[in-house]
């Protein structure tokens, strides 16, 4: 891969991780790693264009049906694809189907961009996700294989100790904080051949005194009431948090950082 490449366009495909939850801007919208990456890339390339087709809650089949062909038709220099993790968190998950759909997505996208970027998603420490970890790792094995066959870059967030730290995750325990998204943007930036701005993005963050028992239990109760139970309810009824929502940034247009 070339060093310090001058890419002129980026299309991001995926779910809530790529939409940017839970990196909130003052106006209530989400920023996230893809916007941060676009900001850096735009600073190097006048007229840089960016589209973000991601919608929270999407399964890999929905990503393939609703986003992949749209992204391929845009012909961007860089396309990022992150999907399938929502499937692994479902009680009934057909991993063979997930593999086949992810393969379809990569085969459609790879010929239509200069560089396809895939990711091994970060894995938070804690008991809730432990039962799903074998599925996650099976998904990552598929991603590694597809990248090798189609010349894609794999950004290994799963192996980053910093992103496994609970302090990098929002109160819903499913989405990264602003600092977590910043580190993901740095990881992708480096994977695209750019000089590091934060060479230690993956390193463990300094220890802090753990919260007391009462604080932890209060947080657990709040998490269960505000996030876990509604999440379970959506799973049982076949609903999604992204039902009816449009793509974050549906058109490949010149980009300006909304936070400025």
DSSP 93-115: --HHHHHHHHHHHHHHHGGGSSE
Same domain, 58 and 76: yes
pLDDT of 131 reads 78
* Strand blocks (E) in the chain: 9-14, 49-52, 78-82, 115-120, 153-156, 249-254
Please state the domain count of the chain.
2
Calculate helix-pair angle for 95-109, 133-150, nearest 10 degrees.
30
Same domain, 204 and 216: no
Identify whether 87 is part of a domain: yes
Identify the domain containing residue 156 by its residue range.
Answer: 9-208
Same domain, 172 and 196: yes
Same domain, 120 and 231: no
Show the low-confidence residues of the chain (pLDDT under 50). 227
pLDDT of 66 reads 97
Same domain, 14 and 127: yes
Same domain, 60 and 108: yes
Same domain, 111 and 235: no
Give the span between the Cα atoms of 133 and 120, in whole angstroms. 12
Asked if residue 22 has a cis previous peptide bond (ω within 30° of 0), the answer is yes
Mean pLDDT computed over every residue of the chain: 87
pLDDT of 89 reads 83
- Burial degree of 208 (CB within 10 A; 0-12, 13-18, 19+): exposed
Identify whether 142 is part of a domain: yes
Same domain, 188 and 226: no
Same domain, 130 and 74: yes
Same domain, 160 and 215: no
Same domain, 159 and 233: no
């Amino acid at each position: 891969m070339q060093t310090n490449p001058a890419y002129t366009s980026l299309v991001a495909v995926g779910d809530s991780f790529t939409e940017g939850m839970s990196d909130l801007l003052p106006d209530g919208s989400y920023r996230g790693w893809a916007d941060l990456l676009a900001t850096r890339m735009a600073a190097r390339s006048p007229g840089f264009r960016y589209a973000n087709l991601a919608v929270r809650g999407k399964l890999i089949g929905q990503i393939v049906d609703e986003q992949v062909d749209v992204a391929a038709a845009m012909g961007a220099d860089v396309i990022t694809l992150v999907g399938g993790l929502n499937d692994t968190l479902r009680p009934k998950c057909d991993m063979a189907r997930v593999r086949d759909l992810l393969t379809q997505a990569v085969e459609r996208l790879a010929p239509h961009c200069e560089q396809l970027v895939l990711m091994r998603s970060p894995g938070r420490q804690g008991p809730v996700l432990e039962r799903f970890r074998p599925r996650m790792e099976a998904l990552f094995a598929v991603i590694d294989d597809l990248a090798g066959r189609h010349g894609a870059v794999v950004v290994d967030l799963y192996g980053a100790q910093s992103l496994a730290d609970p302090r990098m995750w929002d109160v819903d325990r499913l989405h990264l904080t602003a600092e977590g998204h910043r580190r993901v943007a740095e990881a992708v930036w480096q994977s695209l051949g750019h000089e590091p701005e934060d060479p230690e993005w993956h390193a463990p963050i300094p220890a802090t005194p753990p919260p007391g028992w009462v604080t932890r239990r209060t947080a657990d109760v709040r998490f269960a009431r505000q996030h876990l139970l509604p999440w379970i309810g959506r799973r049982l009824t076949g609903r999604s948090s992204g039902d009816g929502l449009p793509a974050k940034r549906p058109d490949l247009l010149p980009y300006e950082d909304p936070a400025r």
